[in-house]
Amino acid sequence: MRRTAVAAVLLLASAAPAAADDFDAAMASGAAAWARRAQGHRGSRAQPAAIEQAVAAYERAVAGRPGDVAARSRLLQALHFRGEHAAPGRDARRRAFERGREVAEAGLDRLAVPFGGRARLDKMTPAATARALAGTAGAADLHLWAAVHWGLWGDAFGRLAAARQGVGDKVRRYSEIVVALDERHEAGGGHRVLGRLHALAPKVPLVTGWVDREKAVAHLRRAVALAPEEPYNQLFLAEALLEHQPAKKSEAVAILRRLVQAPPPADRVVEVEKAREDARALLQQQGG
């Protein structure tokens, strides 16, 4: 029995470094593939090979170490890029965001364990949830990615149907938690997602009666104030102004012109090119 126990200890001791090596290798492979994601792109459309490698590597990392928030966040980032820039059609786009929802929700479940679980946190207001999670590494990141993937899945599914399934409520709650945790996170990401939600979500009585077009503009103005150089803060504000405050068309057009004239940063060329393409299309619609 003693020899068996010793053998078990030695086995665990030898397995731990191998597991760590596997995790580190998967993370390094994912990072290397992520860095190549723009190779061969055409505008905002990326070739799928690199991002598929990144997704596969980060999936391995998360499977090997499910509690690692950084690995989960990198997987969510890669799935977002796949859905937005490399998916060949609506079904593939929806599948990318559906997987993103699963990964984010599983991460939030793990995050909530020390605080009594999701059932307890979900009964709290967003502000109270943020207070409970204050200081918890990765809380803002996971809530923001959960909001993004739920929102984009709902958009691919159909906004009205998504609203009736409560997608908007989830996006609103998660984004409000991000704002309460750190409104500067990801260039004002909580405000950016909230503004976009209030700008686009259909206002359905007894379902999404909370939708407020004035709040859309207010949140997007705050996002721009926090991170004026973020292209999507600019794009979404301009779009909300054109749609919901047409008297401010000249301001929106000026924002769009600045956006299309600024070169995309080298580290986000595909992502920012999508914002520039959308801005050019909006300018063309406005005759500018």
- pLDDT over threshold 60, residue 13: no
Rounded CA-CA distance 44/272 in Å is 8
DSSP 185-247: HHHHHHHHHHHHHHHHS---TTTSTT--HHHHHHHHHHHHHH-TT-HHHHHHHHHHHHHH-GG
The reported pLDDT for the residue numbered 7 is: 47
Answer whether residue 160 is part of any domain. no
Decide: residue 233, CB within 10 A, 0-12 exposed, 13-18 middle, 19+ buried. buried
Rounded CA-CA distance 101/20 in Å is 27
Residue 147: left (phi > 0), alpha (psi -120 to 50), or beta?
Answer: alpha
The reported pLDDT for the residue numbered 205 is: 80
Q: Average the pLDDT over each of 8-17, 39-48, 127-136 and give the range with the smallest value.
A: 8-17
Based on the structure, what is the number of domains in the chain?
Answer: 1
Answer whether residue 210 is part of any domain. no
Answer whether residue 207 is part of any domain. no
Answer whether residue 232 is part of any domain. yes
Rounded CA-CA distance 137/1 in Å is 42
Kindly list the distances between the CA atom of residue 212 and the CA atoms of 34, 219, 235, in Å, as whole numbers in the listed order. Answer: 37, 11, 19
Answer whether residue 269 is part of any domain. yes
- pLDDT over threshold 70, residue 51: yes
Mean pLDDT of 171-177: 98
Mean pLDDT of 62-80: 97
The reported pLDDT for the residue numbered 12 is: 43
Answer whether residue 262 is part of any domain. yes
Instruction: Give residue-wise pLDDT tens across range 185-214.
Output: 999 999 999 999 999 988 888 778 899 999
What is the extent of the structural domain holding 278? 228-288
- Residue 86, token pair as written in the block: 């490399």
pTM of the model: 0.90
Answer whether residue 1 is part of any domain. no
Mean pLDDT of 223-228: 98
3-state DSSP call for residue 45? strand
The reported pLDDT for the residue numbered 9 is: 42
The reported pLDDT for the residue numbered 288 is: 64
Answer whether residue 257 is part of any domain. yes
